[in-house]
Structure 1
Amino acid sequence: MGTQTDVVRPRSGIRELSRSVAGALILAGLGVVAGFASLFVINPLYAGIGAVWPAFGELLNSYLIQPGFGLVAAGYIWWRDDYNPLDRVQTPSTEGLAWIGLTPVAYELTVRAVSPLLSMIGLSHGGHSGGTVKWRAFLEQPELIIPGLVVMFLIMAPMEELLYRGVIHDTLGRTMGSLGRVLVGGLLFGGMHSFLSGGLVSLLLTTILGLLVAASYERTKNLVVPIMAHAGYWLLIVPL
């Protein structure tokens, strides 16, 4: 005969799992809303910068939604009051450095592998659609290298990763195992981009990136790793 504790525990586990998934969905949804709002708020600022320095303004236009993500993450941290993401900021280990270097490569190889399958079912990502790859832009305009790297590695990637890894991934971590955190976190990351970029192909390819970056964070428990991997993707590959 089961005790009262035996009966309550499974229900409590399901309830807590549902709450953590619902919380992650709400945070991801708030990120989408804030990302859209950021488009309208930040664009005039970037336009003003672009009027003075056109090349830098063009680079900044690639990062219109990240300030919205940062705002949601900051709001969550303020609301929780006991959450310190800096606890997960460390010098990368050898494994972390491997994740940083290999994530963009693994993403590109995966895209090349699935592209023929997409064509077979009538879908195509049409090549990457984010304009000139950043490293080429830096070669053509060396004066962009320092400000561009600062924007990508120290501002925009931290904003995005603080929300999706530092907040959403850790929210799922209270009730899910490693595989669940990576899968759900990757799907939420892809789902966000499908709203902001549009299309099934965008959902698929950005989910692949989300899974890789989530796995890097899950393995290392170090926010620096997904931040550097994400910014490295921006640097080496033309984003969707």
Structure 2
Amino acid sequence: MTSSSDPSPADADGLTGPSGTSVAFGILWSLIVAGGVAIIGIIIGAVLVAAAAIGLQTAAITITPLLQIVLSLALATGVGFGGVALAYLWYRGSGIRYIGFQIPSLRDIAFSFGGYIASLALLITAAAIISTIGAETAPNTAAQAGMENPEILLLLIPASFLLIAPGEELLYRGIVQNRLCETLPVPIAIILASLIFASIHYFSLAGAPQARLVSISILVLPTLVFGTVYELTNNLVVPVLVHGAYNATLFSLLYITIKFGGRLAQTPGIV
């Protein structure tokens, strides 16, 4: 999805041009860069949240569950993921066209709606299969905090559109998936980017390792939809809308269930 005005993939990452390196090395380097950017985003986000928490505690400010969620959304997802993505674009000398960011057309809106329905359908199907075989899943820690403090869910609903989806899609679709597409077939790039994205949620899940892996296998499914609509539209706004609506729906259902129908044990589909 890179524009013609962007540097060549190899040159942009500090390598010799395609004629000076093997295809296999180019693919390997693409995987290293994509994985490295994803890891750096997580590390910087975690460091920012930890630093903010220490500063608040030093100032004798109690860190409530709600404040913890706010810090994570603003610093980890917003500044951490978004900042790393923008820093990578600056390093490469790439413009905003590299990630494809524009006002959605009617076609884009149609793909957004279709992607939203598809992601929920995949989640429902996966949940039914997991329930049938009796596999244990791990709950999302943010949703788990919302179960204890439902007002957090009311924050997470708009945050899904304003911070969570934009930050995550900018880094994992705009940068990671795009970088993989430079050396790999698009379907393979989508799958690998989805696996990387779902895997980073291991740390945002609670429970036994096996249960977390089951939940990650579920998370891959809607993520594949996000990556697919991105490639079909060449517009980052589309997966942001799909991702935001998907998460907002799950948070809304969780809130309604807690307030009017009891408690949900697990919410493995939130990304």
The bucket for the TM-score relative to the shorter chain is 0.7 to 0.9
Query: What is residue 97 of structure 1 aligned with on the other side?
Result: 112
Superposed CA deviations along residues 92-147 of structure 1, whole A, max 9, x for unmatched, are 4244232343144224313323313552xxx31166661448xx859x97xx69xx
Using the size of structure 2 for normalisation, the TM-score is 0.66
Residue 167 of structure 1, CA deviation: 0.5
How many residue pairs get aligned? The number is 218
Is 1:72 matched with 2:87?
no
For 1:58 and 1:111, locate their aligned partners in 2 and report how far apart those are by CA, in whole Å: 30
Could you tell me whether the CA contact under 8 Å between 1:46 and 1:60 is conserved in 2? no
Which of 164, 172, 176 is 1:168 aligned to? 176
Could you tell me whether the CA contact under 8 Å between 2:120 and 2:222 is conserved in 1? no
Q: Cα 1:102–1:61, aligned 2, differ >3 Å: closer, same or farther?
A: farther
Q: Cα 1:196–1:38, aligned 2, differ >3 Å: closer, same or farther?
A: farther
Query: What is residue 188 of structure 2 aligned with on the other side?
Result: 180
For 1:204 and 1:191, locate their aligned partners in 2 and report how far apart those are by CA, in whole Å: 9
Task: Could you tell me which runs of 5 or more consecutive residues in structure 1 were left unpaired when the two chains were aligned.
Answer: 1-7
For 2:186 and 2:234, locate their aligned partners in 1 and report how far apart those are by CA, in whole Å: 11
What is the Cα-based RMSD across aligned positions, in Å?
Answer: 3.5
For 2:71 and 2:161, locate their aligned partners in 1 and report how far apart those are by CA, in whole Å: 16
Could you tell me whether the CA contact under 8 Å between 2:34 and 2:179 is conserved in 1? yes
Residue 35 of structure 1, CA deviation: 3.0
The one-letter code of the counterpart of 1:218 is E
Query: What is residue 4 of structure 1 aligned with on the other side?
Result: none
SS in 2 for 1:89: coil
Quote the sequence identity (%).
Answer: 24
For 1:75 and 1:227, locate their aligned partners in 2 and report how far apart those are by CA, in whole Å: 20
For 1:118 and 1:152, locate their aligned partners in 2 and report how far apart those are by CA, in whole Å: 31
Is 1:28 matched with 2:43?
no
SS in 2 for 1:88: coil
For 1:156 and 1:14, locate their aligned partners in 2 and report how far apart those are by CA, in whole Å: 34
- Decide which moves more: 103-112 or 209-218: 103-112
